[in-house]
């Protein structure tokens, strides 16, 4: 690649592979909520890796209607939730195609586009790194030469002078000694590409800074308080001077966790005081200009004894984090401490390593790295079982976790931790596993899954419960309902705890950091568990207030009273008071009043969590909870074309307590289909030389439609109560998509004896594998 600087200005910028330098113009002309709103356009890098020699904004600023222009020289501030490795706009270099270099805000979209076209940027191209192997190679070009100086949380370990943005080591037992005792050793490698979240609603943020310096941001996000915190840190503003509001969110899947477009909107708003500025991405940009799921290269070595017990397990996970790792470094960490999946490995050597490349930015995605590592681990378990002549279900049951067994980090599970063995048995039973049934070109496969919430030890949720004059209960939460049914289950918990009719509860979402109770983030399948616990605690407080007033009104001990269908009842006398007589205070016949408006705030934070040892990752309790599950699939294959059909998916998860049967079935089915999509059709393709996206549209990037849904979807649940779960419940929102691809791959092997180790499993790969298998067979 030439190192000669290139200059991009105005109409000199060609349209290449559907990508223009000028992208992101707002498509709306106004909004009642945002009067006199300015429209923003972001100038994005056409290079995957280049030095930024100069950015000139003078010509852009002269375009009529332009009210703000900004680039890295104006805001050289770092931002990132765990590792602050990204600036608002690129300063010294760009690190992926789409990296923001500058932005303009104007009265009309047309003026904004014209101004952005006049931004002049001088680039000096640098070598492009797209694969982790190239990023790890000795002497590799550094994507972040200043990595050693970046600020990060204590439990993230970037390696300065390299492309390693995080490395978690897991060491348990004596792997080398155990390996020498093994009767059979299997080594395999697996690969997972980057994929896009593809939410229905793309990323969009609107910001304004008033004359007093108060920054207001309306944004499509999963984490309003985290957005506020990161904006405050980035721009050095007091938290009280930053307000973040999240309206209804049209899908997230992890892609709207952390922070995304908000700093750009804030920067432009600071330049155009008093004006609302809207920044959004179009559907094409959604594929590469915001975050994606990270890629993975995995190598596993498994050693077993003659009885099929795993004695030694080695795992190397190399994560393709893309140009920045601010959020993705925690995916690397979570994959490390969960590297053994649902199995007990007494001797383990694990490394989970995040590597910078010049791909789009890797971040949170539903499952948070778990589908990727289970793609490798679950196929490996089946392959080991097959090589030693053992049934894959029996092999899993012989090695799976359970009460009294220890995870890879040394945590000993108790009777409340969940039962993967019961999930395996249920799925096997429903599939008719071991019944001897075998039809040509049809196969069955099974895979397990486990996930813990990947969150800081102090991740908290809080709520506020308050009654209206008519006895209606309002529940204020700040978790985001992105389709998982959080508002419904919050209402259920409140109604259950206060014995209140469900239609007398209203849950208020749409959080506003100025007015709403604090919540860390809507990620990690934690809301039913965390917000649910906070609701129950607040409800108990309200209950005691109601009983206390009724006790004085009845002149009866509070211990004798109980709540019943929106009333306080004295079972001994039969007297009762409806809530509406109490919730604003109780007034006696002579006029004097006791109590007052019934309201309560409460919070929940996990207790007893202990940091991982920095050298071995051993800890008695590194995570708050585990959710286990298993899935089985049935497939039919056309051996001539490689086309295959997933006809049936069966899932079973230990959820602690089924809170809402319809919602949990919907979550399960949705996860199965999303898992099907990533497993058999989704992959973000880049030009191998330039790093430019090849399929940044829904024409070329395929996701499942109704035509792809299997004929049969079945959901089953085990209920082993979680000790600290609300009514025993634990999270399951992400888990249902984790094992699907591995189960499909195993089913294909069962059907026709071929193995696909690189996602997605396409008909082309299946046909190629079938043809290769045919060539290997001896001629009769």
Q: Are 207 and 217 in contact (CB under 8 A)?
A: yes
Is pLDDT at 24 greater than 90 in this prediction?
A: no
Going edge to edge, which strands form the sheet with 93-94? 6-8, 120-125, 50-56, 93-94
Is pLDDT at 353 greater than 80 in this prediction?
A: yes
Backbone angles phi, psi at 744, to 5 degrees: -65, -45
Is pLDDT at 7 greater than 60 in this prediction?
A: no
Give the whole-number percent of the chain exceeding pLDDT 70.
96
Considering the domain delimited by 292-454+624-776, tell me its CATH architecture.
2-Layer Sandwich (3.30)
Q: Are 760 and 646 in contact (CB under 8 A)?
A: no
CB atoms within 10 A of CB 577: 18
For tokens 């941001």, what's the residue? 217
**CATH fold of 34-126+200-286, please?**
Aldehyde Oxidoreductase; domain 3 (3.90.1170)
pLDDT score at 23: 40
First to last CA, the chain: 52
Cα–Cα distance between 579 and 563 in angstroms, integer? 9
* pLDDT tens digit sequence for 697-735: 999 999 999 999 999 999 999 999 999 999 999 999 999
Is pLDDT at 21 greater than 90 in this prediction?
A: no
pLDDT score at 779: 62
Cα–Cα distance between 11 and 761 in angstroms, integer? 42
Q: Are 191 and 294 in contact (CB under 8 A)?
A: no
pLDDT score at 777: 79
Cα–Cα distance between 701 and 685 in angstroms, integer? 9
Backbone angles phi, psi at 405, to 5 degrees: -100, 160
* pLDDT tens digit sequence for 524-567: 999 999 999 999 999 999 999 999 999 999 999 999 999 999 99
* pLDDT tens digit sequence for 117-138: 999 999 999 999 999 999 999 9
If you ran DSSP here, which 8-state letter would residue 686 be given? B
Cis preceding-peptide flag for 375 (omega within 30 of 0): no
Helix (H, G, I), strand (E, B) or coil at 695: coil
pLDDT score at 26: 35
Task: Name the E strands within 246-397.
Answer: 277-280, 292-293, 295-304, 310-322, 348-356, 362-363
Q: In the 3-class helix/strand/coil scheme, how is 443-478 assigned residue by residue?
A: EEEEEEEEECCCCCCCCCEEEEEEECCCCCEEEECC
Q: What is the mean pLDDT of residues 71-89?
A: 98
Equal fold, 34-126+200-286 vs 292-454+624-776: no
Helix (H, G, I), strand (E, B) or coil at 778: coil
| CATH number 2.40.50.140 given to 18-26+458-604 | no
At 62, the pLDDT band (50, 70, 90 cuts) reads: very high
Is pLDDT at 493 greater than 70 in this prediction?
A: yes
* pLDDT tens digit sequence for 655-697: 999 999 999 999 999 999 999 999 999 999 999 999 999 999 9
CB atoms within 10 A of CB 156: 21
Q: Are 478 and 516 in contact (CB under 8 A)?
A: yes
Name every residue whose Cβ is closer than 8 Å to that of residue 119 and which is 6 or more positions away in sequence.
9, 43, 55, 56, 57, 59, 60, 69, 71, 101, 102, 104
Nearest partner of 291 among 256, 315, 316, judged by Cα = 256
pLDDT score at 776: 86
Q: What is the mean pLDDT of residues 593-603?
A: 97
Name every residue whose Cβ is closer than 8 Å to that of residue 19 and which is 6 or more positions away in sequence.
46, 97, 284, 692, 693, 696
**Helix %, strand %, coil % for the chain, to 5?**
25, 25, 45
Q: What is the mean pLDDT of residues 58-74?
A: 98
Is pLDDT at 29 greater than 90 in this prediction?
A: no
* pLDDT tens digit sequence for 436-487: 889 999 999 999 999 999 999 999 999 999 999 999 999 999 999 999 999 9
Beta-strand pair 593-597/505-508: unpaired
For tokens 């009333």, what's the residue? 567
Residue ranges per structural domain of the chain: 18-26+458-604, 34-126+200-286, 292-454+624-776
pLDDT score at 780: 64
Is pLDDT at 10 greater than 60 in this prediction?
A: no
């Amino acid at each position: 690649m030439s190192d000669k600087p290139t200059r991009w200005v105005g109409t000199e910028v060609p349209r290449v592979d559907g990508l223009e330098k000028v992208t992101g113009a707002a498509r709306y002309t106004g909004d009642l909520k945002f009067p006199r709103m300015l429209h923003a356009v972001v100038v994005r890098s056409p290079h995957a890796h280049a030095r930024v020699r100069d950015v000139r904004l003078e010509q852009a600023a002269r375009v009529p209607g332009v009210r703000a222009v900004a680039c890295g020289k104006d805001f050289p501030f770092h931002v990132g939730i765990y590792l602050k490795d990204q600036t608002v706009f690129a300063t010294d270099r760009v690190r992926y195609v789409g990296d923001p270099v500058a932005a303009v805000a104007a009265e009309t979209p047309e003026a904004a586009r014209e101004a952005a076209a006049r931004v002049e940027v001088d680039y000096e191209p640098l070598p492009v790194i797209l694969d982790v192997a190239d990023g790890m190679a000795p002497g590799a070009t550094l994507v972040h030469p200043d990595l050693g100086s970046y600020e990060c949380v204590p439990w993230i370990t970037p390696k300065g002078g390299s492309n390693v943005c995080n490395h978690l080591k897991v060491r348990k037992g004596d792997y080398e000694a155990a390996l020498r005792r093994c009767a059979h050793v299997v080594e395999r490698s697996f690969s997972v590409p980057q994929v896009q979240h593809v939410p229905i609603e793309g990323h969009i943020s609107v910001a304004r800074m008033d004359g007093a310096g108060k920054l207001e941001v309306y944004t499509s996000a999963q984490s309003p308080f985290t957005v506020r915190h990161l904006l405050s840190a980035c721009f050095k503003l007091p938290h009280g001077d930053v307000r973040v509001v999240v309206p209804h969110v049209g899908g997230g899947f992890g892609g709207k966790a952390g922070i995304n477009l908000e700093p750009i909107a804030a920067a432009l708003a600071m330049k155009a005081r008093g004006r609302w500025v809207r920044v959004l991405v179009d559907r094409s940009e959604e594929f590469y200009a915001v975050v994606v799921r990270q890629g993975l290269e995995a190598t596993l070595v498994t050693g077993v004894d003659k009885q099929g017990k795993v004695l030694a397990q080695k795992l190397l996970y190399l994560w393709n984090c893309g140009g920045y790792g601010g959020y993705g470094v925690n995916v690397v960490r979570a994959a490390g401490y969960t590297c053994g999946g649902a199995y007990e490995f007494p001797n383990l050597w694990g490394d989970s390593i995040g590597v910078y490349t010049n791909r789009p930015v890797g971040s949170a995605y539903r499952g948070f790295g778990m589908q990727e590592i289970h793609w490798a681990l679950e196929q490996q378990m089946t392959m080991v079982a097959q090589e030693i002549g053992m049934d894959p279900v029996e092999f899993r049951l012989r090695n799976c976790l359970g009460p009294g067994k220890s995870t890879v980090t040394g945590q000993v599970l108790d009777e409340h931790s969940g039962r993967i063995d019961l999930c395996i048995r249920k799925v096997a039973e429903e599939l008719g596993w071991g019944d001897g049934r075998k039809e040509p070109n049809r196969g069955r496969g099974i895979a397990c899954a486990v996930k813990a919430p990947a969150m800081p030890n102090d991740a908290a949720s809080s709520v506020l419960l308050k009654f209206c004059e008519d006895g209606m209960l309002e529940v204020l939460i700040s978790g985001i309902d992105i389709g998982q049914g959080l508002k419904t289950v919050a209402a259920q918990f409140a109604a259950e705890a206060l014995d209140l009719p469900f239609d007398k509860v209203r849950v208020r979402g749409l959080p506003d950091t100025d007015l709403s109770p604090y919540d860390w983030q809507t990620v990690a399948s934690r809301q039913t568990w965390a917000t649910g616990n906070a609701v129950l605690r607040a409800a108990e407080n309200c209950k005691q207030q109601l009983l206390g007033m009724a006790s004085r009104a009845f002149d009866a001990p509070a211990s004798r009273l109980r709540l019943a269908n929106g009333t306080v009842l004295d079972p001994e006398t039969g007297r009762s008071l409806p809530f509406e007589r109490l919730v604003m205070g109780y007034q006696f016949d002579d006029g004097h009043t006791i109590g007052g408006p019934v309201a309560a705030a409460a919070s929940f934070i996990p207790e007893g969590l202990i940091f991982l040892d920095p050298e071995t990752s051993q800890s008695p309790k590194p995570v708050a909870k585990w959710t286990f599950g298993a899935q089985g699939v049935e497939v039919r294959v056309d051996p001539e074309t490689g086309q295959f059909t997933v006809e049936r998916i069966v899932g079973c998860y230990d959820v602690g307590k089924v809170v809402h049967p319809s919602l949990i079935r919907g979550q399960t089915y949705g996860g199965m289909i999303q898992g099907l999509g990533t497993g058999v059709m989704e992959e973000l393709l880049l030009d191998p030389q330039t790093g430019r996206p090849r399929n940044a549209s829904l024409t070329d990037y395929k996701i499942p439609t109704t035509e792809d849904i299997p004929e049969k979807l079945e959901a089953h649940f085990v209920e082993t109560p979680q000790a600290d779960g609300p009514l025993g419940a634990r999270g399951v929102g992400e888990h249902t998509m984790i094992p699907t691809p591995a189960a499909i791959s195993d089913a294909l092997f069962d059907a026709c004896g071929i193995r696909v180790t690189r996602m997605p499993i396409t008909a082309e790969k299946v046909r190629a594998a079938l043809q290769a298998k045919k060539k290997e067979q001896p001629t009769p």
